[in-house]
Amino acid sequence: MTTLLNVKDLRAYYGQVQALHGLSFSLSEGSLTTLLGANGAGKTTTLRAICNMVRSTGGIEFDGKPLNHRSTESIVRFGIAHVPQGRGTFTTMTVEENLQLGAITRKDSAGIVSDIERMYAHFPVLKQRHTQQAGTLSGGEQQMLAVARALMLRPRLMLLDEPSFGLAPLVVRDLFGILGKINREDKVSILVVEQNAQLALELADQAYVIETGRIVMSGNAKDIANNEEIRKSYLGY
């Protein structure tokens, strides 16, 4: 399998504070990879560094092309859709406008219309609420909307930051089921950051564990899930 995303010796800074200390990992085309780790380990920072939303040094290559020093909005045009922590919903706009915004860089109006219908098929609740202000949706619905908005880009890679955050366990199961389906059927590579390690490992094929800004463990998701020592010392379950 070809490498889609290659991150090398990534260091990131918030002002004077260094959050990532030379982090390296890669993601192959079509895979569903998860970054695990405790609070403050640097998971969110890693995603933000990929989209140049935080000052960083080191190499980030997407499909062989360097992403460093490109603006956040131009990185989107490579086909990288980022669902930020807290979902980034345009709360004062309607559900349908949120979906249209996801496709704002695309030029094919016919494709956009059919993709909106496709999203409504994936997430029927969004169709019911398509004229409603997005801020009035429940947390789970907003997370579905955020994923749908990201898919409207027809991304090659989707970055998901804590999709399970604040959601009821049943809703999380649903959502992860849909993510797996999108990965298999729409061939979207996914990099998901999670605190819910158990669930993420069930879903993912590759996994990396971060601790204080460094990768401390990597491998096949199944192997990591089955390794009691790693689970206990890094993942806490």
List Cβ neighbours of 213 (8 Å cut-off, separation of 6 or more): 12, 18, 19, 20, 21, 23, 41, 42, 45
Nearer to other proteins, 49 or 153 (CB): 153
124: number of Cβ within 10 Å: 9
List Cβ neighbours of 95 (8 Å cut-off, separation of 6 or more): 126, 129, 130, 131, 132, 134, 137, 145
The least CB distance from residue 180 to other proteins, in Å, is 23
The least CB distance from residue 224 to other proteins, in Å, is 29
Q: Rule CB under 8 A: which residues touch other proteins?
A: 51, 53, 71-74, 76-77, 81-82, 84, 88-93, 97, 100-102, 104-105, 133, 135-139, 149, 153, 166
The least CB distance from residue 118 to other proteins, in Å, is 18
Nearer to other proteins, 142 or 196 (CB): 142
In what side-by-side order are the strands of the sheet with 206-211? 80-83, 157-161, 189-194, 32-36, 206-211, 214-220
Polymer length in residues for the chain: 237
In what side-by-side order are the strands of the sheet with 65-66? 17-28, 3-14, 55-62, 65-66
Nearer to other proteins, 77 or 184 (CB): 77
Q: 214: which 2 tokens?
A: 């460094």
The least CB distance from residue 127 to other proteins, in Å, is 20
Nearer to other proteins, 53 or 216 (CB): 53
The least CB distance from residue 106 to other proteins, in Å, is 9
The least CB distance from residue 50 to other proteins, in Å, is 11
Nearer to other proteins, 93 or 216 (CB): 93
Q: CA of 199: how far to CAs of 23, 203, 225, in Å?
A: 24, 7, 10
Nearer to other proteins, 101 or 216 (CB): 101
